[in-house]
Amino acid sequence: MKRFILCLMAVTMVSVTVEAQEYAPIRWQGVYTNRFWDNWEVAAAGGNSLLQITQKGSDYGKFMDRNGWNANIAVSKWVVPTLGMRLQLDAGEFHNFTRPILRTGGMEVKMPYLFVHGDILINMSNWIGGYDPDRFYSAVSYMGFGYTAMSWTKKSQSPYNGEYAFTTGLINKFRISPRFDIELDLRSWLIAERSLPKEIQRGGRFAVAMSASLGVAYRFNQRYWSPAYSQVDVDGYLLAIMALEEQLIGREAELKRTNNNVAVLKNENESLRHSLAESRTESNVVVATIPTESVVFFTIGEATLTDYAKATLDSTVAQLTASDADIIITGYADKETGSAKRNEQLSMQRAENVANYLIGLGVPASRITTNWVGDTEQAFASPDTPTVNRCVIIKL
């Protein structure tokens, strides 16, 4: 029955982890949870152990003489930066003494033991201070349940050779590289006194075992958590999209009105071009170029020309080809979203896509100068919204 319960504990730990991470990752405090085979650790350590009888005045022998040895191996799985699970096997030897007989002193009793247990791990440093993959020290508290087997040698036999045990402790993790930690594990566990050899039983119900071990932990596969947008960010993006959709409806109505005038404007431009050519031929009149400016807007995080942007360029190309002046194209990105490096790349791609589209419409490439400023400059100071600064400005 005891073996069945221990096997059930291990299977439950694995199945819960698989169930939580089998499907698409979810957000947790700014990071994504990982896949099943990510963020595993294996550890090995060694140190000392001590058995404390809970009956007052029942421990005999000097404190240092009652210290035994301890060694352990463990495998851990972190589900999120603050929560993990561990399966550990401890082996060691307790030292204690029988009750003194007159003045002859007590006899030393050595008790080999095995302790297998499953623990819930809580990274207190990540919980309180937030997730930091480069943190040097992390305090990990835990509590668990398992089975302690002891007293199977002829010199230290008791009516019971094992009992269930509850454990709790603190792992002090010191990061020395992305793969390795040094761990100082301070642990205690509560066991039934009846599982101890008869020579040292004092008639109480429980005994407390304590150990301190120092070892190394190794992390394999993915060792970090990918950052994710918070729900506040997502809600903000959704509101921004709704506002853009409303603006798009208004711009589409304006575009329809503009398209109705495209044919008229083309005829007027042809007439003006013809008149200008005649004027230059017939007289030495200096003709001033009337500055022209047009704006093309883009979707957040995108440099691809939308149908609306192409329509804006289609209606602008007649004015651009009506003059021989240089055309300056400047790309922008809003400073509210994205990194400076990403925004510089976006503004460059936006400017180049506009230039290539105009060249495709017949504008000579020799007249076009392409610039980009990332988010170091904003195209419009008012209104103060990120959407209007995701744009390209064309100046003639």
pLDDT in tens, 206-219: 888 899 999 999 99
Mean pLDDT in residue range 110-134 = 90
- In this prediction, residue 109 carries a pLDDT of 78
**Do 206 and 259 share a domain, yes or no?**
no
**Do 250 and 199 share a domain, yes or no?**
no
- Residue 158 and residue 151 in contact, taking contact as beta carbons nearer than 8 Å: yes
**Do 159 and 210 share a domain, yes or no?**
yes
Residue 367 lies in a domain: yes
Residue 292, domain CATH: 3.30.1330.60
User: Is the predicted pLDDT of residue 81 greater than 70, yes or no?
Assistant: yes
Of the residues 182, 198, 220, the one at which a domain ends: 220
- Express each pLDDT in 282-325 by its tens digit: 555 444 444 568 899 999 889 999 988 898 889 888 888 888 88
- In this prediction, residue 331 carries a pLDDT of 94
Average pLDDT, rounded, for the chain: 81
- In this prediction, residue 231 carries a pLDDT of 62
- In this prediction, residue 1 carries a pLDDT of 47
Tokens of 42: 């294996």
Of the residues 220, 245, 263, the one at which a domain ends: 220
**Do 141 and 196 share a domain, yes or no?**
yes
**Least confident residue range of 125-139, 176-190, 249-263:** 249-263
Residue 300 lies in a domain: yes
Mean pLDDT in residue range 190-206 = 79
Indicate the pLDDT class of residue 23, thresholds 50, 70 and 90: very low
**Do 302 and 370 share a domain, yes or no?**
yes
Domain count of the chain?
Answer: 2
Indicate the pLDDT class of residue 112, thresholds 50, 70 and 90: confident
**Do 196 and 148 share a domain, yes or no?**
yes
- Looking at the chain, the whole-number percentage of residues with pLDDT higher than 70 is 79
Residue 226 lies in a domain: no
Cα–Cα distance measured from residue 364 to residue 371, given in angstroms and rounded to the nearest whole number: 17
**Do 75 and 106 share a domain, yes or no?**
yes
**Do 216 and 133 share a domain, yes or no?**
yes
Domain span at residue 85 reads 2-220
Cα–Cα distance measured from residue 77 to residue 194, given in angstroms and rounded to the nearest whole number: 34
Residue 125 lies in a domain: yes
Residue 285 lies in a domain: yes
**Least confident residue range of 11-25, 38-52, 219-233, 357-371:** 11-25
User: Is the predicted pLDDT of residue 100 greater than 90, yes or no?
Assistant: no
Mean pLDDT in residue range 36-40 = 86
**Do 215 and 311 share a domain, yes or no?**
no
Of the residues 178, 198, 220, the one at which a domain ends: 220
Quote the crossing angle between the two packed helices 307-321 and 231-282, to the nearest 10°.
Answer: 20
User: Is the predicted pLDDT of residue 229 greater than 70, yes or no?
Assistant: no
Mean pLDDT in residue range 110-130 = 91
User: Is the predicted pLDDT of residue 14 greater than 50, yes or no?
Assistant: no
User: Is the predicted pLDDT of residue 164 greater than 80, yes or no?
Assistant: yes
21 vs 388, residue with greater confidence? 388
- In this prediction, residue 103 carries a pLDDT of 47
Residue 60, domain CATH: 2.40.160.20
User: Is the predicted pLDDT of residue 86 greater than 70, yes or no?
Assistant: yes
**Do 306 and 326 share a domain, yes or no?**
yes
Residue 225 lies in a domain: no
Nearest to 162 by CA among 98, 120, 86, 111: 111
Count of beta carbons in the 10 Å neighbourhood of residue 117? 26
Cα–Cα distance measured from residue 223 to residue 54, given in angstroms and rounded to the nearest whole number: 42
Cα–Cα distance measured from residue 161 to residue 148, given in angstroms and rounded to the nearest whole number: 8
Does pTM top 0.75 for this prediction?
no
Tokens of 362: 């017949």
- In this prediction, residue 288 carries a pLDDT of 42
Residue 41 lies in a domain: yes
Tokens of 266: 């083309």
Indicate the pLDDT class of residue 151, thresholds 50, 70 and 90: low
**Do 246 and 122 share a domain, yes or no?**
no
**Do 272 and 381 share a domain, yes or no?**
yes
78 vs 17, residue with greater confidence? 78
